[in-house]
Structure 1
Amino acid sequence: MRTTVQDEPGSLAALCGALAGQRVDILSLQTHPLAEGTVDEFLLRGPAALPVSAITTAVESAGGADTWIERADAHDLVDAPTRILGLAARTALDSAELPLALRQLLGRCTIRSQPAPAGGGRAPGGLPVEGALDDTVMRLRAPEGGVIIVERPYLPFTPTEFARARALVELDARLGPRLPHGRDVLTLAEGSDITVRRADTRDLEATRAMHERCSARTLKLRYHGPVGDAARYLNHLLSPRYGRTLAVQTASGRVVGLGHLLWDGDETEVALIVEDAWQRRGVGAELLSRLVALAVEAGCSSVYAVTQASNTGMVAAMRGLGLPLDYQVEEGTLVITARLGEAVVTSAEELGSASAP
């Protein structure tokens, strides 16, 4: 529960008395100072039959205003310093964790990355180095340039939350590009060994070479049209700011497949490309199952793939997940959405992913 009170002696005591009158226990309390007043954030435990409206009425009668109440979950039982240190540790290990850490830090919110202008210009809109906070929207300077935009329409951000988010972004910037070093060596059914590992923009040359070996049909199925400059797509797709990428490489070190888990606002997209000589050998299915495991560990409730009905390999791989699927045709393309559950979690930790939020 959050409520705003006057910053004066006795205001907190009045709130505590009102909650006690409803037989509500206070498990934890954080204060968020404002220019005028203070936002008090409580973790409460009350009688199961007690309606939210009764708590709101009691709090407002004790001087609280703009009261917001939401059901807590097990993660809220972790004290704030421990939780924030855990998020910092996750961010320190993996560049791709920053958007996820921000989401766990700030609750239900939408996070978007706006790239820097071409040619290395200033951040869009002349954003100051320290970022900007405007009620339900915060804008932060991304370490690689551009802007990270965080929106939470249902609840304004406090200056304390803004400072915590800035600290995570600054930590990410100081540490620079980094990936977990885990990799798995697998033997395909036909006997070839492959290695599955995380990838980022440092793999641009190898992935560009893979695209050059792909047929026009393979590229069209992946990108839904002609691809004149694969590097233009790959810089975005390989950036940890927009998601996670898995690469498949042969024993000689040549990259032959890519799988992307892309953060798309509140949704998550999966995308695959496997060069022609390695198709129909189980590479795509292996990538997809690992991407789904990463999505579950990141707390995603579903993933979707945008493809074409003629892309039988992608359709078969999605069906092979054994998950409930929804099919929808949008503007001539097929969107397949898989609803996730705990049962699909596999050994993605071996690839260096963090535990679920």
Structure 2
Amino acid sequence: MTDVTSAKNARRPHHWRRDVIELAALFTAVAVADAIANLIGHQPDGPYLLIAAAVALVATAAFHTWWARRHSHAPPPDADGPGEAAEPAGGPEEAVETVLWRMRTTVRDTPGALAALCTVLAGHRIDILTLQTHPLAQGTVDEFLLRVPESLPAQHLGREISAAGGTSTWIERADAHDLVDTPTRVLGLATRTALDAAELPLALRQLLGRCTIHSLPALTVSGRPTGASAPVEGVLEDTVMKLRDPSGGVITVERPYLPFTPTEFARARALVELDARLGPRVPRSEDVLTLPEGNEITVRRADGEDLAAARAMHDRCSERTLGLRYHGPVRDADRYLDHLLNPRFGRTLTVQTASGRLVALGHLLWDGDETEVALLVEDDWQRRGIGSELLGRLVAMAAEAGCESVYAVTQAHNTGMVAAMRALSLPLDYQIEEGTLVITARLTASPVQPHAAPEREQPRLLG
């Protein structure tokens, strides 16, 4: 038997006793009132005294009611109950347009420092969606994702945050992708890096925000040491971090506007260590296409294992074709292949015939903040739509990776490359430098739909 049941069956109170006591009190009050009325009523001013007493009682009751309501410690009335609920101090809620901001500021590591910032944000009706803390030797870097009224200027909020104790405050617009919590985002970047070695620079950029990443090899194209190196544990220098590249070079990450924190450095180093442990790797998906004349070709990702086949294709290409692609001495063309087929510096697509012969290469190269596209199609396979197909796939990869633009370096008389860039239906910028034509396509104006690349599919027509 539970305590509730025991209490329920316990001795019940006798309600009739309370009724008898109340009835006795009522009779006593009537007797007292009758005695007072007889005593005062027979006096000359008796009626006036009775009226005055009644007024005094009513005034006393009213005063007691007012005093009890003003100083009552009872909880406020329920908003769902009768009457109107109390409105918040800021007035009734109004629908206002909001935007997403990312804000980072450094505060003293003392009790109440973060509370002061939150008070400022609450005063402007700003909603804190996420908060990350980056401990420093002195102080703490707090990174917020905020939903802010659109009418609030960032400069005004920055001044108030500084007045509340924040230093080195940095504010920029965010988007819906930033709503993903940090552990989920880091795990997603690690998964992408594990599947494709070419994803490491992109993963670092998404992890660290707006930054510039350079991958410097240990050897030049001619085989001479570049002198680029970094210790195994890496180096963190304010706005620059250097990480050991698994191939022996160094990955340099620069962010001039905001120093890196030890937490960010540790995350970046963990991604690089993951890449080093997994070794060279590229997705092995492929796509089978059919040329107008009926020949089947296969488009797939390429890596260092295709070096011998790529060199054989160079041998079959004319000097004119190689010169349009590499813009230098034709005899040095083979030297570039080690760099181009290395997933660390970008992505490469290859086209193979049904017999397995490599007849075209398409490169998407990470060049700091910019992205370059380049094509090479063997002479006998030109003007069949292969170059346009490769270029469309490369630009779709760049758009998927978040690149704002891609550029191609060619010659003005390379009509095939110029036509392929125009066929993208994207805004193009042309710039000529010393006889070299640079065509830049802006991807943010009209996102390119990525080409599907299933593991193996039925051939489709390429025309």
In which range does the TM-score fall when normalised by the shorter chain? over 0.9
- After superposition, the Cα gap between the structure-2 partners of 1:197 and 1:262, relative to the gap in structure 1 and judged at 3 Å, is same
Unaligned runs of 5+ in 1: 353-357
Alpha-carbon offset, residue 326 of structure 1: 1.5
Instruction: Report whether the alignment pairs 1:60 with 2:124.
Output: no
Instruction: Report whether the alignment pairs 1:40 with 2:142.
Output: yes
Partner of 1:20: 122
Q: C-alpha distance in 2, partners of 1:152/1:178?
A: 28
Partner residue of 1:346 out of 438, 450, 456: 450
Task: Please say if residues 287 and 453 of structure 2, whose CA atoms lie closer than 8 Å, have aligned partners that are also in contact.
Answer: no
Instruction: Report whether the alignment pairs 1:301 with 2:393.
Output: no
Stretch of structure 1 that moved more, 6-15 or 343-352: 343-352
TM-score, structure 2 normalization: 0.73
- 1:1-357 alignment runs, 5 A limit: 1-117=103-219, 124=227, 127-340=230-443, 341-348=445-452, 350=454
Q: C-alpha distance in 2, partners of 1:48/1:281?
A: 51
Stretch of structure 1 that moved more, 81-90 or 42-51: 42-51
- Give the 3-state SS of the residue equivalent to 1:156 in structure 2: coil
Alpha-carbon offset, residue 350 of structure 1: 3.7
- Give the 3-state SS of the residue equivalent to 2:173 in structure 1: coil
- Give the 3-state SS of the residue equivalent to 1:140 in structure 2: strand
- After superposition, the Cα gap between the structure-2 partners of 1:126 and 1:143, relative to the gap in structure 1 and judged at 3 Å, is closer
- After superposition, the Cα gap between the structure-2 partners of 1:82 and 1:208, relative to the gap in structure 1 and judged at 3 Å, is same
What letter is aligned with 1:42?
F
Alpha-carbon offset, residue 314 of structure 1: 0.9
- Give the 3-state SS of the residue equivalent to 2:408 in structure 1: strand
- Give the 3-state SS of the residue equivalent to 2:121 in structure 1: helix
Task: Please say if residues 196 and 283 of structure 2, whose CA atoms lie closer than 8 Å, have aligned partners that are also in contact.
Answer: yes
Stretch of structure 1 that moved more, 104-113 or 223-232: 223-232
What letter is aligned with 2:376?
I
- Give the 3-state SS of the residue equivalent to 1:228 in structure 2: helix
Higher relative contact order (CA 8 A, sep 6+): 1
- After superposition, the Cα gap between the structure-2 partners of 1:39 and 1:270, relative to the gap in structure 1 and judged at 3 Å, is same
- After superposition, the Cα gap between the structure-2 partners of 1:35 and 1:42, relative to the gap in structure 1 and judged at 3 Å, is same
What letter is aligned with 2:263?
T
Stretch of structure 1 that moved more, 314-323 or 166-175: 314-323
- 1:57-78 C-alpha deviation (Å, 9 max, x unpaired): 2212221111111111111111
Partner of 1:355: none
- 1:288-322 C-alpha deviation (Å, 9 max, x unpaired): 11111111111112111100012111111111222
What letter is aligned with 1:8?
T
Task: Please say if residues 128 and 144 of structure 2, whose CA atoms lie closer than 8 Å, have aligned partners that are also in contact.
Answer: yes
**Greater gyration radius:** 2
Equivalences, count:
352
Alpha-carbon offset, residue 269 of structure 1: 0.7
Task: Please say if residues 217 and 228 of structure 2, whose CA atoms lie closer than 8 Å, have aligned partners that are also in contact.
Answer: no
- Give the 3-state SS of the residue equivalent to 2:344 in structure 1: coil
RMSD: 1.9
Stretch of structure 1 that moved more, 294-303 or 90-99: 294-303
